[in-house]
Amino acid sequence: MSRPAEHFDTKFQHTPDPWGFRHRWYEKRKRELTLAALPRQHYRRIFEAGCANGELSHALAQRCAQLLGCDVSPTAVALAQARLSDAPHAEVYVGALPTDWPAGTFDLIVLSEIGYYLDKAALHALIQRCIASLADDGAVLACHWQHPIDDGPQNGRQVHHLLRRHLPLRRVICHREQDFVLELWCKESCAINLSEEAR
């Protein structure tokens, strides 16, 4: 991360929901669009990088057998753990990405509102971590605010430009609005499994 953990921890100590993830309609709608962009109903193992206070994590937990989240702020991690108290298959840990990347493989990696807190070199390293830990049928979902931010070295447009440039995956979804961009890349076809849907 380009900012020290204390920078983010202070935000969460001041208020448990500094970006209004739980209450703002913008955030609720973006979360629903994120979930709707996932072509599979159920994933084996999801990693959410930069899980903050766990609002998106809680929704993702309904779609997988195992969820792992990470955030640089210990206060945010404690809040996320409380939010996920009804999801025993979900775990959250304190770590600075890309250095503290988890072991194992994932069939979904979620990069939501984290990329601009990394400089270009760190984001490139994070992308390489994604590639190395993605299952053969895996996907990467990224969603970022498109306007400039005060406390990050990049903006959302720059982040997604680097993702498109360095992810050796097929981009299957690109949803762009004035405020944010949401993209999904897959290793193989991400067509909806109709036989699974019929069950």
- Per DSSP, the three-state class of 106 is strand
- Distance from chain centroid for Cα 189: 21
What is the distance between the alpha carbons of residues 107 and 46, in angstroms, rounded to a whole number?
Answer: 6
CA 27 to chain centre: 14
Q: Is 110 exposed, middle or buried (0-12, 13-18, 19+ CB in 10 A)?
A: buried
Sheet holding 180-186, edge to edge: 90-94, 64-71, 43-49, 106-112, 134-145, 180-186, 170-176
The pLDDT of residue 174: 96
Sequence spans of domains, the chain: 5-198
Predicted local confidence at residue 193, as pLDDT: 55
> Residue 52 is encoded by which pair of tokens?
């903050």
Residue 4 pLDDT: 59
pTM (2 decimals)?
0.88
Residue 186 bridge partners (DSSP) = 139, 170
Contact between 118 and 95 under an 8 Å Cβ cutoff? The reply is: no
Q: What is the pLDDT of residue 79?
A: 92
Report the C-alpha gap between 11 and 17 in whole angstroms. 9
For 3, 51, 78, 118, 154, the CA distances from 146, given in Å and listed in that order, are 20, 19, 28, 15, 10
For each successive 10 residues of the chain (199 residues), what is the average pLDDT?
A: 60 64 87 96 97 95 98 92 97 96 98 93 96 96 90 89 96 95 88 50
CATH top-level class of 5-198: alpha beta
* Residue-level pLDDT at 198: 42
Query: What pLDDT shows up at residue 136?
Result: 94
Query: Which is nearest to 91 in space by CA: 61, 129, 126, 119?
Result: 61
